[in-house]
Chain A
Amino acid sequence: MTNPTPILEVKDLQTQFHTQDGTVHAINGVSFVLNKGEFLGVVGESGSGKSVTMMSLLRLIPIPPGEIVSGQAMFEGRDLITMELDDLRSVRGGRIGFIFQDPLTSLNPVLTIGYQIMESLRIHTDLQEKAREERAVELLKLVGIPGATKRLDSYPHELSGGMRQRVMIAMSLACRPRVLIADEPTTALDVTIQAQIIELIRDLREKTNTAVIWITHDLGVIAGLADRVLVMYGGLIVEEAPVAELYAHPQHPYTEGLLGSIPRLDQKGSKLVNIKGQPPNLYEKPTSCPFAPRCPYVFDRCRVENPPLISISESHSTACWWDMDNKRPRNGS
C-alpha cells in the first residue's frame, strides 16, 4: 500500500473488569493504527484481549463491571472513548460496522431479517421506506443470498448458519461503513461455509474498499486475507508485522510457538511443538513479560521488566527482550 492514511488510531487502551474475585486486567495498554482500506488481522487465544479491545473501542463492554481505565481511539478526528453516547450511537452500526461470532445469538429471533437490516438504515440514514427496502434487497444480493426479495420476510431460524452470517454481514454493511470489525466471524461455521464467507469478504473489499479488522484464533484464516497482523497475548500486543513477514520471520517467542503448534494441511510433520504451561491469569497487572513463564528463551530481565513494543524494522515490532535473529538479549538489555 502506498502512503497509508490512518483511519483509526488507538493509543494506550486499558480495560479492566471489577469482579467478585478481584480486578481482571483484560487489556493493559494497547496501541495500534488501522489504515484506510487496510485488512488488519488480530490473532490471539481466548483471554488474550482481542475481543475486549475491539468492544472497548465502541464501548460495547458492560460498564460496570467493565471499566475503560485509560486510552484514546481517534476515528475521523474524534475520540470514541470520550465522545457523547448519542454521538457514539451514530458511529456504531453506521461508520463502523460490527460482525459478531455467533449469528444465532446476535440476530433477534422474533423480527424478520428484512426488518433487522432496515433498522440500521432507519436510524442512520434519511432513506424513505421504499428506498430502505430497495437497499436491503441490494444488500442481500451483495452477500449472495438467493431470492433476496422473498428473504426479507424470513425469520433467522429459517436460515442456515452460513446464511445467517451473510445476513449479519449485510447488516454491518448497510450504512457503507468505513471500518468493519469482524469478531471470529467464521469460527462457528463449517469449513466449506467458512470458505464461502471468506470469498465473500474478499469480494466485498474489492467492491467497497472498507477497512477491516478481523479477529481470529486461526492463523490459517487470515494468512490469505490480511495485509498486516497483530498478535495479542495477556492483554497486550506482543507482535505486529505485515502478514508475509510475520509467518516467515516471527520475532516473538509466542508467535513462533503458535506457528509451531498448529498442524499443517500441506505436510505431515513429526511432533507438534507445544507451548508448555497455561495462558496467564490476569488478576494482576503485568509487571514482567506475561509470556515469561512459558517462554523457551526467558532470561533475567524478562522476569522483572515488561518489554514494550520494540521496532525492529519500519513495519515490524515485537515486545520481547530477546533478539531471536542473533540469539542474544536485545541491544541495551
Chain B
Amino acid sequence: MRCLAENTETGKDLLRFLTCGSVDDGKSTLIGRLLWDAKLLCDDQIVAIEADSQRSGSHGQDIDFALLLDGLQAEREQGITIDVAYRFFETQHRKFIVADTPGHEQYTRNMATGASTADLAVILVDARKGILTQTRRHSFIASLMGIRHVILVINKMDLVDYDAAVFYSLRATYLDFAEGLGFETLSCLPVSALKGDNVCAASLSMPWFDGAPLLAQLEAVEVYSSADSLPFRMPVQWVCRPDLDFRGFCGTVSSGHIAVGDTVVVAASGQTSTVRRIVSFDGDRAEAWQGDAVNLVIADEIDISRGDTLAVPHDCPDFADQFSARILWMHADPLLPNRTYLIKIGTTVSGVRINRLDCRINVNTFERTAAECLALNEVGVCDVAVDRAVAFDSYAANRGTGRFILIDRYSNDTVGCGMILHALRRATNVYRHAETVSKSARVTLMHQKPCILWLTGLSGSGKSTLANVLEQHLHGLGCHTMLLDGDNIRHSLNRDLGFTDADRVENIRRVGEVAKLMVEAGLIVLVAFISPFRSERRMVRELMEDGEFLEIFVDTPFDVCCRRDSKGLYAKALNGDIPNFTGVQSPYEVPEFPELRVDGTADVATSTEAILALLRARGIL
C-alpha cells in the first residue's frame, strides 16, 4: 500500500472490545441484539436465526439472539458459550471487533484469550443476581491484562421491573469493588438485552436513566495506544538471507519508532549498529512505527538471530534471567514452584522455573495469601527464573515486551500467561566463577566416563536393593561410584521437605543438582528415588549433557509392591494413615522412553546384568 495516510485521526478507527461476566448474564444475547437493532445482519442470517430460534432457542417463539454467536454444536445444545467468538461490524462512526467470551469459570482461559487483544471490556451483571465472583474475576483479569476502559452493563432490568434502586445499588457495589483496578473510564448502564432497552436506543421503560445507550458509548469512547511514544523495541522473528549479499532482520515493531540512520542495540550483547535500510516489497521505507512488520538491514556484521531484541541504546529493556510477574494459571494441573515449564517471551522460547510463589491473589477481595501452588484460573505473584537471560520490560511500562505465556513441556498446552512486574537483581549479582580444573580434566584423571543411573519406580519396587548390588559390581570393576538413596537423602539434605506435589518437585530438583555436581567430579552416580513425575525426571535429564542421564524404570506391579511392603507403608497408606502416598493417593507417571526397563519381579542378578549390558553398550564400561 503505497499511499498510506499520515493522519489517522480522521475517519473511522477500530475498537476491539469483549463482553464478559458470569454465565447466563446474557453476553451473547446482548451482542446478538446489538447487531439486530443496528441492522447489521444479513438477510440469510436473519432467516437462519429465526429458524434456529424455533428449533433450539430458549425464548419460546421469540428470537434467541445468542444463537447468532454460539456457533458450536455443543454450545447450542447446552445453551452456553464455551469459546470466544469474534464478530466484526461497522457503524457510521466506527469499526468494531467484538470478542464474545464464555462466563463459565472452567472456560476462564477463553475469556483471557478474548481480553488479551481488547481495548475495552463490557462486563455484564444479571440485575437479579448482582455482582458475583465471576464478575469480579473477569474484572480483575481485564485489569491484569491492562484494559483501561470498562462499561458495566446491568442486564435483565426487565426482570426487576426496571427498578432504579436495583441499578444504583449494584452500581455502588461495583464502583466500590473496582476502585483498585485502575480503569481509566468506567460507566454503568441499565439494560435489557432481550427487550433492547439501552442497547442501540434509549430505553422508554427507564426514563430515570439519562446516559447514552451502549452503542453510542462504544462509538464515543476514546482509546489511544501510547505504544508509538515508547522506546523502540523489536524482537527478531526471522533472519532473511535469500543470498550471500543480503541479511535482513525481520520482526514486528513492538513499540516506538525506527528510522534509517538510527542506532540500535542488541539487548543481549550490547553491540550497537545503525539501521541502513528498511526493506519492503513496495520499496525501501524511511521509517516504521509500532505494529509494522519490517525487515531491517543493519550497517555492521554483528551477531543477531531469532530471539534477540533490538532496542534504542539510551533506553534499553532489562536483560536478566529472573523477574517477578503476575501469572494467570489456565490448566487443570496446578502450577508447582520449582517445576520446569517452557516460556515464550517475545520470540524467545526457553526453559523456565517458578522459583517462588509469593502469594495467591483472591479475586473477590484482592487479599494476598500464602500458597503452595496455583490452581486453574488462579492468579499469583511469582519469581520466575528463565534458563537464560532474556530482554523484557515491565508490563505496565511496555505491554509488548512485558508479557509471556507458559507452555507445558509434555502436552505442549498453553498452561499460563504472565505480566512482568520487575526484574530481580539477585541473579545478576551472583557471577559464576570460572573453574581452573575443568570437568574434562577431572574425568581424565578418573579414567572413566561419568553418568547418572537414575532408578525410578514405586515404593517397594526394589530400586534400593538393585542399586546396592549394582554399586558392588561397579566397585568391583574399579569404578568410582556414589549412591544417592531417596530415604537416606530425605533424612539429611531434604529433611525439611514433605510429600506434597510441590515438595516432591523440590526434592528431585535438589538431588538432580547434587548428582550433577558428582558427575562433574567424575563419578558414576546411582540415584534410587521414586521420582514419580515425568516433568522432574526430564528436568534432571536436561541438566546433563547428552548421554549422561540413563533412566532405568524398575517396573514392579502395584500389587506386588503392596504384597512386599517391607516398610509397612502400603498398609498404612491404604488405611489412610499416610497422605499423598505414591501409587495410592499420589500418581506415579510411568517413564515413556526410559533407556532401560527392568522387570522388578525378576531376580536381582538378571536386572544387574541388564544394566551392566547397557553401560557396556554406552561405552561407560
Partners in one complex: no
Listed in ascending order, the chain B residues whose CB lies under 8 Å from chain A are: none
